[in-house]
Amino acid sequence: MGLHVPVPGPVIGLLLLFGYLLIRPSAVDSIEPTAFELLRHLSLLFVPAGVGIMVAVDKVRGEGLAIVVALVVSTTLAIAVTALVTRALMRRQARRARVNTPSEF
C-alpha cells in the first residue's frame, strides 16, 4: 500500500537518507564510497531510458518546434532569473550584515 503522494519514491529515499545523515553524521564515511561509485557513472544509468526516444519520437512527431522553443527560452530565462534574484538577495544580505556588525561589538 502506497501513501499516494505524487513525489517520486527515489526522491523520498533521498530525503530519508539526507535526514539520517543529519541525525547521524558518522554514517557518511561508511555510505560515501558506495554512493560516489554509483554517482561516478550516473550518466550510464540514463542510457536505457534515453534509447526509449526511438519509441517516443513517433508520439511527438510534429512538435519539434514547440519543444525547441520551450527548451531554449525557458532555460535562458531560468539562468537569468536565478542569477539576478540570487545576486540581489546576496547584496541585500551583505548590506544588512554591514549595518548590523558594528552594534554587535
Partner 1 sequence: MTELGALWVYLAATPLLGLTMTLFAYLIAQGIYARAKFNPLANPVLIAVVLIVAVLSVTHTPYQTYFQGAQFVHFLLGPATVALALPLYRQLPKLRRAALPLAGGLIAGSLTAILSATAIAMLFGAPRVTVISLAPKSATTPIAMAIAERLGGLPSLTAVLVICTGVFGAVSARTILNVLRIEEPEVRGFALGVASHGIGTARAFQVSDEMGAFAGLGMGLNGLFTAFVVPVLLPIVLRWVN
Binding site for partner 1 (CB under 8 A): 6-11, 13-18, 21-22, 28, 31-32, 34-36, 38-39, 41-56, 59-60, 63, 65-67, 69-87, 89-90, 92-93
Q: What are the C-alpha distances in Å from 5 to residues 2, 8, 19?
A: 8, 8, 19
**15's grid cell:** 530525503
Q: Least distance from C-beta 57 to partner 1, angstroms? A: 8
Instruction: Kindly state the smallest distance separating residue 72's Cβ from partner 1, in Å.
Output: 6
* Close Cβ partners of 27 (under 8 Å, ≥ 6 residues apart): 20, 21
Quote the CA–CA distance of 41 and 38 in Å, as a whole number.
6
Residue 71 Cβ vs partner 1, minimum distance, rounded to whole Å: 6
Nearest to partner 1 of 33, 102 (CB atom): 33
- The least CB distance from residue 105 to partner 1, in Å, is 21
SS3 content of the chain, % helix, strand, coil (to 5): 80, 0, 20
Task: Give whichever of 4 and 104 is closer to partner 1, judged by the CB atom.
Answer: 4
